[in-house]
Amino acid sequence: MAEQTIICIGCPLGCHVTLKVDKDGEIEALTGNQCKEGREYVIAEFRAPVRVFTATVLTEAGGRLLAVRTDKPVHKGQLKELMAVVAKLRMAPPVKAGQVLVPNILGTGADLVASSSI
């Protein structure tokens, strides 16, 4: 059985919640939270710790960079791999905010979209 600590980000309390996880990856016990919402957050964060990925892309015209994001959160373990892909991209203007640049990037199910316009 493994133990894992997740800090709840729901309120300024920042509870350090300890999870006891069995060998099949199921939660056996959860302690340290002070509310129901915190419990739900920690379970969700344990099962799928996801983040919106944001970065910038160089433009072929030079000058100001293009801000990009994923249109939905991706697993946090994939953020660095996504960055490696995005670092190689070059976009030619015009690009409009919301435009899809890389559909289903790295098979995450999320699209990489422009979050600013150039």
Number of residues engaging other proteins in binding (CB under 8 A): 28
Per rule CB under 8 A, is residue 109 in the interface with other proteins?
no
Q: Which segment (22-30, 46-54, 103-111) binds other proteins by CB under 8 A?
A: 46-54
User: Closest CB to other proteins among 11 and 44?
Assistant: 11
Token couple for 69: 């994001």
Pick from 76, 90, 100, 103: which binds other proteins (CB under 8 A)? 76
Under 8 Å CB-to-CB from 25, ≥6 apart: which residues?
A: none
Return d(Cα 36, Cα 31) in angstroms, integer: 12
- Please return the burial class of 18, using the count of CB atoms within 10 Å of its CB with bins 0-12, 13-18 and 19+: middle
Per rule CB under 8 A, is residue 61 in the interface with other proteins?
no
Per rule CB under 8 A, is residue 65 in the interface with other proteins?
yes
